Amino acid sequence: MEDFTELVKTHQKHVYNICLRFCCNPEDAFDLSQEIFLKAWRGLDGFRGDSSVFTWLYRLTYNVCADFARKKSRRRETVSLDDKDLPLNDERYEPALALERKELSRSLEKALELISPEHKHILVLRETAGLSYREIADILSLEEGTVKSRIARARLALRELLIKDGNYLPEQTSNKQKPTKGGGGRHV
Amino acid sequence: MCDAEAISALIDGELPESNAADLLSHMETCPSCRALHDDFLAMRDGFEAIAIDPPDTLAPGIRYKVELGGDPPRSRRIIGSLIGVAACLIAALFISHFSALPQSANNEPMYDSAAPGAGTDYGIMNGTAGRSGAQDSSDFSAASEGYDTPSIVPEYRAFEYAEDGASEPESAPVADEKLTLTDSAGSVLQTPEPSEEPSPSEVEAEPEPTSESLE
């Protein structure tokens, strides 16, 4: 039980935010997160150890969220892009966000809803949970090379929408940052 | 032409060391690759900005549900089943006990209209303890026509009415096991329905001798 408590404590933010990206409202994200951890609790005994607990948990997270997204699309529920459905406009969650940051973040969220589910899912796994290409490949049952190219295409698609939106990325981006090797580490 | 895949892998730390070095040197002289690299990093910053902390109730709620909803161990399931079965048996015994208690439509004692003995009426309590509730006390009322005068073989004492017709019994009957009526040959008699039974006031008493009859 202590191990499980530690698992929840360490990963609840990532799991919750992945759910939030998939279902776009805090209530469903809350319910999905609980469902995921309950399933993790019940499935811990059956965990064979052929992958890390981390990968196993996020595979479970992805499967639950993907099922939810499929059911949601079957019900033809339209994703509301109204402010009230986005957590950023809920003062409980982001009371201190500057208006400009809120506008930029809103643009990003809108763009995420417009790219294909395939691109969205892989970007969410990469950017929200900081999963490596190897881990994403395990979760999605893809080759690592496929993950690499799909992430790149997802970023290009998102970028294109953000440039068109004009709020997030100006058409000509200045050289604000010196390119570096970057890091693939997890967001902790 | 910029290699978006390489730039994407670069910012994720997934590009092999040698390839990463080459790309970095290239980007120092290629504005479009540098712009693409910067945009990808800006989008990553955006993902971090839109990530929020889960509600405080999430972890406690998970713990609560885990403690409540976890499957019970096998032994507890067996014990729970046994308790359920025992409860059903007790309920069944309780119901059968109360349904076997004496039952009378008008809560009056049953009478044997053909009881022997002049001036004597017997009021017999129907002792039906232990019997099925489906069987009523009419089984033990007086024999109908065609039978010999039955001899009542009660397993308990019947109370007697006083000769003057007072209804108070000298002694209360003790309701006990079942009462059977047999004829002189010892055969168990069938009895008519309770509705056919006369009430005590309807029982025809032997007329008292009058002074005229005695003379």
Q: Helices A53-74 and A133-140: crossing angle, nearest 10°? A: 50
Point out the least confidently predicted range of A68-77, A169-178, B42-51, B79-88: A169-178
If you count residue pairs, one on A and one on B, with CB atoms under 8 Å apart, how many are there?
146
Per the prediction, chain B carries an average pLDDT of: 65
Q: Can you say how many angstroms the Cα of residue B30 is from the centroid of all Cα atoms in its chain?
A: 83
Q: Say whether B47 and A127 touch across the interface (CB within 8 A).
A: yes
pLDDT in tens, B148-201: 444 444 444 444 444 444 444 444 444 444 555 566 666 666 555 554 454 445
CB-closest option in B15, B38, B71 to A177: B38
Q: Please list, residue by residue across B145-180, b when 16 or more beta carbons sit within 10 angstroms of its beta carbon and e when fewer do.
A: eebeebebebeeebbebeeeeeeeeeeebeeeebbe
Task: Write out the two tokens for A144.
Answer: 């690592």
CB-closest option in A173, A181, A185 to B20: A181
ipTM of model: 0.79
- Rounded average pLDDT per 10-residue block, chain A, 188 residues: 85 94 90 93 77 87 92 63 44 59 82 92 94 94 96 96 79 50 54
Could you give phi then psi for residue B170, rounded to 5 degrees?
-70, -35
Task: Write out the two tokens for A4.
Answer: 């499980």
CB-closest option in B8, B49, B57 to A101: B49
Task: Please list the alpha-helical segments (H only) found in B13-73.
Answer: 17-27, 31-50, 58-69
Distances (CA, A) of B168 to B14, B22, B115: 108, 122, 18
Reduce the DSSP state of residue A77 to 3 states and report it.
Answer: coil
Side-chain-facing half-sphere of A135: CA atoms under 13 Å: 22
DSSP structural state of residue B12:
B
Nearest Cα to Cα of residue A36 among B47, B61, B50, B48: B61
Chain B contacts of A8, Cβ < 8 Å? 59, 62-63
What's the CA gap between B173 and B62, in Å, rounded? 68
A:98-127 residues touching chain B, CB 8 A cutoff: 101, 104-105, 108-109, 123, 126-127
Please name the residues in contact with B39: beta carbons below 8 A apart, sequence gap of 6 or more: A159, A162, A169, A173
Chain A contacts of B49, Cβ < 8 Å? 101, 104-105, 108
Q: From the candidates A1, A5, A32, A37, which should be mutated to test the interface with B, based on the most B CB atoms within 10 A?
A: A37
Q: Are A85 and A35 spatial neighbours (Cβ–Cβ below 8 Å)?
A: no
Q: Say whether B38 and A176 touch across the interface (CB within 8 A).
A: yes
Q: Say whether B55 and A101 touch across the interface (CB within 8 A).
A: no
pLDDT in tens, B116-140: 444 444 333 444 444 444 444 444 4
Nearest Cα to Cα of residue B139 among B172, B171, B96, B103: B103
Nearest Cα to Cα of residue B50 among A101, A161, A111, A151: A101
Chain B contacts of A4, Cβ < 8 Å? 66
